Structures are given as C-alpha cells and as structure tokens.
Amino acid sequence: MTGLWPATRLMFRRHRVALIAWALSLLLLVAITVPSYQQTYPGLSERAPLVAQMQNTDGTRLLYGILHDPGTLGQLFTWEVGAYVVVLTCVMALLLAVSTTRGEEDAGTLELVRASGVKPMAPLVAAMILVFTACLLVGGGSSAVLIVQMLWAEDLAADELTLVGAVGFGALTTLAGFTVGLVAMVLAQLRGEARGARSWAFIFVGVTFLMRVMADEAISNSDWPQWLKALNWFSPFGWKEVVSPYTHDRTWALAVFAGACLALIACVAALYTRREYSESILPDRSTSTRGMRVRSVESWSWAAGRSHVAGWAVAVLLIAALFGSMTGGLVQTLRESEPTRQLLEQMSASSAASGAPGVDAGDLAAAADTLAPENLLAQFYEFLGLYVAILVAVFAISAVLRWRGEEKAGYLDLELTAGTKRWRSLLARCTLSAVCSVVLLAASAALMGWLGEMQMAGEVGAGEAFRQSMTATFGQVPAVLAGVGVVAVLIAVVPRWSGAIWAVVAVAASIQTFGGLVNPPQWVLDLSLYAWAPALGDDWPWAQMILLTAIGVLGVVGAAASVGRRDVTTG
C-alpha cells in the first residue's frame, strides 16, 4: 500500500510520548504487583483469610470481578491489578484511536498526509497499527514480565505462576484493548468531531463494564438470572473472566476475540471508504440560530463548562447508583459470615501466639472485627466513597485544567482581551469546579445512602446506611478541594507543569487502592489525599480535614492573586 510505511512512521513520531508513557506506567504496575503480594503474603495459607474476605466483599467484586480459589499469586494478580491493566489499556487504546483518526482530521494534519500521494486507506491502517502496537506493548510486555517473574521465583511461588496463565493474560489484554480501540475508530467514523467520538466511546466502555459487573454477579449469586453470565463474552472487560488466566486458562476463547477484532477492522474500513474526508456518517448538526446570554465571566464559565459538568454528573451518579445497589449483597455476606469470622479469630489468636512472620496479628483481628454488620457496612461505604471521591477529584481537576487548555488553544486570548479580569476568569473556573464537586459528592453520597437504607432495612439501625454513606463520601470533600487548590497554583505559577497534577492524583489513588494489599509504611499511606475521610468508630481526623480544606482555599486564592504576574502563552 503506497505510503503506509511513511504514514505509520509519522503516526508513531506524533504519538510516541503518549504511547511510551502509557506502556511504561502500566508495565511498572504489572512488575511491582507479584513481588509485593509475595512479600506481604508469602504462602497460600497465610493468604487464605484475606482471599476469603475479598471473595465476600461485594465492592471489590464489582470493580475487579471474581477472585478464584485458592488465590494463587497469578489469580490475585489477574483479579486485582489485572483488572486495572485491562481497563487502562482499553482507555489508552480509546484515546489513541480517536486522536490518530478523527483527531488528526480535526487538526487538519491528515489533510497534508492525504495530499501527499498516499493511498487513502494508508493513514487509517497506520492508526490501527499504532493502536495495536500500543496494546501489544502492554499485553505482551505483561506476559514477558510475568514469565520472567515465574522463572526467577522460588519453587513454591513458581507453582503459583504459569506460562499459559501469563500468555493468556497478555493476549486477552492486547485483544481487549485493540477491540475498544477499534470500536472507538468506528465511532470516529460516525461522529464528526473527536470530542463526540470520545464521549461515545467512553459510554461504550461504561456500558460494557456494567455488562461485566452483571455477568460476574450472576456467576456469584445463583438467584440472579443465569443467562446474564453470557454477557461476559460481549464485554472486553468480561474476557478476563472468560479466559480466567491461572485458573481455567480457556485460551481457545482468544481466537473468538481475535475474530471480533477482524470483524471490527472490516467495519471501520467499510465506514471509512463510505464517507468524505472530514465528513461523518451521522449528520453533524452545525447550524443554529440560538444566541448565548453571557453577562459576566462567571456566566460564561458556566455556559462553556456545563456540558463537561453534565457528562461527569451523569457518569458519577450512574456509578453511585450502581455501587449503592450492590449494598444488598452485604445481607447475604452477613448471614454467611459467621464461620469465616470464627476462622479469622482463631487464626489471629494462633499467629499472635506463635509470632509467625509476615502475618500481622492485628490485621487479622481487625479483619475479624470488620465482619460485624455496622463495620462491614462502614468498610463497604469507605471503599465506595473512595472510588466516587477519586472520580469526582478527576472531574474537579479536569474542570480547572480546561482553563489552561483554553489558554494553550488561544481561546483565552479572546476572553482576556474583551475586558475580562484574569484573576476572575481563573477564579470562576475554580469556583465552578469546587461547587459542582461538592454537589456531586453530596448527591452521590445521598444516592448510595438511600439505596443502602432500602436494602439494609432490618440488618442495621434505621438511618445507619445513610449516615455512613454521607460520612465516607462527603467526608472526601476536603481532599477534592485540596486537589483543586493544587492544580490552580500549578496553572498560575508553573503552567507548563500543570499536567503533573495527574501524577499526584494517580499516586494518591494508587496508595489508597493498592495500599491494602501491598502494605506500604504508614507515612506513605498518610501522604495520600484520600486517606482522610472520617471512618466509623475513630475520631474524625479534623486536623487533616482542615489542612486539606485550607490547601484548597488558599491554593485557589493564591492562584487567583498571582496568575496576573505571568505571560499568557499559546501553543
């Protein structure tokens, strides 16, 4: 195909930073996981109580899927970090797929390529090659890492890692990511702009994730309709359960997924040839006689940002509704918990007596204690509150970062040269972000609490679920505000580095979510922004909550005060 090689090289040259950053950070996550599990819980027997507890926690099943017995290193990896790796690989593929196809058309750069004597199909094939390579880097890289860890492991641990498991996990990750990337490319043919294609692709991710959740629930609960189990076949996120690396190792299913990819490739190509350059398959409504009422920079911020807010609000509330509706599963867990609890208490007593290395007696005692109804509920809400808070924090930060995005695109020039005060312009975005985040946290806390109340009636006291949900979720307000303050300061003082805020969020979120299994030192845990929601039974961490709120408020005020001192730069 004429021009395929140069088009592919150009594609890699333009997107190499994103590609390398994604692949390296995901592979790093893969590489640290197994050694961390191994260090914390060296043997299968020490891991048993943890595995039992995790299998009985609905929140974790919701997010990661099913943890298979007996809980080997490979199974633990696939279940928890594997779930993250698959989801993030899919998000990576989605973003790369849209920006290499519709994104290049929006920017006009594809026009140059198409006008340089290459076959019309060459840039599209180049984009597919790039997305596949990215997925293969993560998937194949994961396999390689897991195989190396298997070869280096001690005899005992080596049994817990298998060659077929490693290959199966890598292959399914590659294919799941590539599938989502191809679906995003289909949507990029349908929609006339990158933004629209991306939001539809994220809706696809959300819906298929939900399908996986329902399928896994049907597998775990016999009272769910059993046909739902088949949904896993139709969701790239369910393929992990279909293949079940390190458990069932149904590698033959990979051929089916590869077939799905081939069908999608044909579909993208067919749509691509049926449309003109920069046109879309679906009609693009691009005329309107409606005006826009703008009275101040504040009302303009709202007018410009409300669709961003609305999109996030729908996503967060849907997830809160989903989380809240899982509370009912706790009832079953409570009824079944008595034997587990006794087992845990026995183990904690014996290990405390023998002083067995690697097992923290306090941990086990605490684990047993958590099986009291109120504590189980509190733990559940703490977990859900954390996830909702991280989502809302991502929204809050992206809402503020939009100001910097408008600056780079040159849109801010228009705003500021129409008599707008710069500090008011930035403050308006920060206020919008903070107010909407607080409302979103309150609304999702109330929603989850209300759903919990309905399902937990009779198991715990009236109002208990609502109170706990509000405490755990709404208690994350200071952390979210602190994020807004930090990003505002970065934008005002070191705008080039404002993207670094994502690293802060990623680290804080990783500490909170992986901290439980990896057991880092307490001071590392304390560093996390999201560690300071009030927990049941403990005193409220007032000092930390006030400190975080102060970081937020002072950060925003300081940013507004100092943003006028720097140049407004575009490009």
Partner 1 sequence: MSHVAGRPVASREPEAEPHGDPAAAEAPVQVRGLVKKFGTFHALDGVDLTVERGTVHGFLGPNGAGKSTAIRVLLGLYRASSGTVRVLGMDPGRRPSEVTRNVSYIPGDTALWPNLTGRQVLDVLAGLRGRRDAAREEELMERFSLDPTKKVRSYSTGNRKKVMLVAAFAAPTDLLILDEPTSGLDPLMEQIFQDCVEEASAAGRTVLLSSHILSEVERLCTDVTIIKDGVVVESGSLARLQHLAAVEVTVHDDDETLARLAADLAGSGIDTRLAPGESPRGALDFPVDRARLPVVLAKVAVAGSTDVRVASASLEDLFLRHYEVDAR
Residues that bind partner 1 (CB under 8 A): 193, 195, 286-297, 299-300, 303-304, 409-411, 413-422, 564-568, 570
Nearer to partner 1, 382 or 406 (CB): 406
Neighbouring-strand partners of residue 457: 460
State the minimum distance, in angstroms, from the CB of residue 432 to partner 1: 16
Query: Tokens at residue 266, please?
Result: 């044909």
d(CA 484, CA 396): 6
**273 vs 79, 114, 132, 493, CA distance in Å?**
41, 13, 21, 47
Nearer to partner 1, 355 or 571 (CB): 571
Nearer to partner 1, 39 or 299 (CB): 299
Nearer to partner 1, 20 or 294 (CB): 294
Nearer to partner 1, 14 or 408 (CB): 408
State the minimum distance, in angstroms, from the CB of residue 191 to partner 1: 12
Nearer to partner 1, 233 or 411 (CB): 411
Which one, of 471, 417, 412, lies nearest residue 446 by Cα?
Answer: 471
Nearer to partner 1, 339 or 419 (CB): 419
State the minimum distance, in angstroms, from the CB of residue 418 to partner 1: 4
State the minimum distance, in angstroms, from the CB of residue 556 to partner 1: 19
d(CA 440, CA 432): 12
Are 471 and 540 within 8 A, CB to CB? Answer: no
Nearer to partner 1, 300 or 381 (CB): 300
Are 1 and 123 within 8 A, CB to CB? Answer: no
Nearer to partner 1, 426 or 477 (CB): 426
Are 46 and 358 within 8 A, CB to CB? Answer: yes
Query: Tokens at residue 31, please?
Result: 């590489």
Are 138 and 23 within 8 A, CB to CB? Answer: yes
Residue 460: partners with Cβ closer than 8 Å, 6 or more residues away? 373, 374, 377
State the minimum distance, in angstroms, from the CB of residue 424 to partner 1: 8
Tell me the chain's radius of gyration from C-alpha atoms.
25
d(CA 468, CA 155): 45
State the minimum distance, in angstroms, from the CB of residue 293 to partner 1: 7
State the minimum distance, in angstroms, from the CB of residue 186 to partner 1: 21
The owner of tokens 């999702």 is: 444
State the minimum distance, in angstroms, from the CB of residue 420 to partner 1: 5
Nearer to partner 1, 107 or 506 (CB): 107
The owner of tokens 């609502």 is: 466
d(CA 50, CA 56): 10
**141 vs 9, 131, 249, 297, 375, CA distance in Å?**
22, 15, 19, 48, 40
> What is the Cβ-side half-sphere exposure of residue 232, based on CA atoms within 13 angstroms?
21
Residue 231: partners with Cβ closer than 8 Å, 6 or more residues away? 211, 212, 214, 215, 218, 238
State the minimum distance, in angstroms, from the CB of residue 188 to partner 1: 15
State the minimum distance, in angstroms, from the CB of residue 283 to partner 1: 12
Exposed (0-12), middle (13-18) or buried (19+): which is 16, by Cβ within 10 Å?
exposed
